[in-house]
């Protein structure tokens, strides 16, 4: 195995610590419903110096996503064991991307296929963390009340069906931007294809950190959750949408936050610069990045 190969560990009742599999060999049946229908759920998290970050929050969200789609998955202890095996089997690295994957399993088997992968992150995330990003506002194609009306759309679950999210990113790249903020058809700010939107407003020395409200059907972000807890302890006020594009354009700073890239400052939205005072936006970015760096790895 070369240093760059991902490590795969399948959850397998015959192997309580997980079964290591060769990422260079076929490992899934062609009839697995994950492959044939994109039917499954996943998580992506970061391990720093071998320590998975916010692990319980990711395991909790995996369990919630699975329950939303009536998937019966192994208990958290089995995932923790497989993650430990994967991290130990990967050559040491400052950062590793850990993925937890569940599919509905091979057609007819009635048992999910579950595995963990550990791999080095791509270079783009680190560059974007340091330099910030330009984003486009794109229509997500449904309104902000859909989650309540249509539970079968699995809003708020982290399903394997990310083809639309990836297509939106490709559209952004083809149009000179790095990333996307989705809007609902009634004009509310939702989320990025792989991230949560945060914005800051500073008024009379009071710092307010704001994110769209969850009942729009967005994914509850573990990074947003961790940052909100840390910011509250540091004296920030917290707020939840509804947010519209004007709120982003008026903000002192806007970020897309997620577990792997962490905090990426938004420099432009649809070509318009964000934040009247670049030095202030820079300072706020540093402050929030320091909070994320300190966040406990358990």
Interface residue list for ligand PLP (CB under 6 A): 44, 191, 194-196, 219, 221-224, 257-259
Report, in Å, the least distance between residue 3 CB and ligand PLP.
Answer: 25
Choice between 177 and 180, CB closer to ligand PLP: 180
Choice between 35 and 292, CB closer to ligand PLP: 292
* Residue partners of 27: CB distance under 8 A and separation at least 6: 8, 10, 21, 115
Report, in Å, the least distance between residue 223 CB and ligand PLP.
Answer: 3
Report the number of secondary-structure helices (H) and strands (E) in the chain. Answer: 9, 14
Report, in Å, the least distance between residue 193 CB and ligand PLP.
Answer: 6
Choice between 113 and 159, CB closer to ligand PLP: 159
Tell me how far apart the alpha carbons of residues 117 and 115 are, in angstroms, rounded to a whole number. Answer: 7
Select from 52, 48, 32 the least CA-distant residue to 40. Answer: 32
Coil vs helix vs strand at 235? coil
Residue 149 burial (CB count, 10 A): 11
Choice between 173 and 272, CB closer to ligand PLP: 173
Report, in Å, the least distance between residue 133 CB and ligand PLP.
Answer: 15
Choice between 117 and 223, CB closer to ligand PLP: 223
Task: Report DSSP letters for 53-91, one per residue.
Answer: SSHHHHHHHHHHHHHHTT-----HHHHHHHHHHHHHHSP
Report, in Å, the least distance between residue 136 CB and ligand PLP.
Answer: 16
Strand partners, 262: 258
């Amino acid at each position: 195995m070369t240093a760059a190969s991902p490590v795969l560990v399948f959850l397998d009742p015959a192997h309580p610590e997980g079964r290591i599999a060769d990422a260079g060999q076929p490992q899934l049946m062609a009839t697995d419903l994950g492959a044939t229908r994109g039917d499954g759920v996943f998580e992506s998290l970061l391990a720093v110096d071998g320590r998975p970050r916010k692990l319980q929050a990711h395991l909790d969200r995996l369990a919630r996503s699975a329950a939303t789609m009536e998937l019966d998955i192994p208990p958290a202890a089995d995932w923790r064991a497989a993650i430990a095996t994967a991290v130990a089997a990967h050559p040491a690295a400052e950062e590793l991307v850990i993925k937890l994957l569940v599919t509905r399993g091979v057609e007819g088997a009635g048992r999910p296929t579950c595995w963990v992968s550990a791999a080095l992150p791509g270079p783009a995330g680190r560059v974007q963390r340091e330099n910030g990003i330009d984003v486009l506002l794109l229509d997500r194609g449904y309104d902000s009340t859909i989650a309540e009306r249509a539970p079968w759309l699995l809003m708020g679950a982290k399903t394997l069906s990310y083809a639309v999210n990836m297509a939106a990113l490709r559209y952004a790249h083809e149009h000179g931007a790095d990333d996307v903020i989705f809007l609902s058809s009634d004009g509310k700010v939702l989320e990025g294809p792989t991230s949560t939107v945060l914005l800051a407003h500073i008024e009379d020395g009071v710092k307010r950190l704001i994110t769209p409200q969850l009942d729009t059907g967005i994914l509850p972000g573990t990074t947003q959750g961790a940052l909100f807890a840390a910011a509250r302890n540091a004296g920030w006020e917290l707020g939840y949408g509804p947010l519209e594009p004007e709120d982003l354009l008026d903000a002192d700073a806007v970020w897309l936050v997620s577990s792997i890239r962490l905090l990426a400052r938004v420099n432009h939205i649809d070509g318009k610069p964000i934040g009247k005072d670049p030095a202030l936006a820079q300072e706020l970015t540093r402050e929030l990045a320091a909070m994320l760096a300190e966040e406990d790895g358990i």
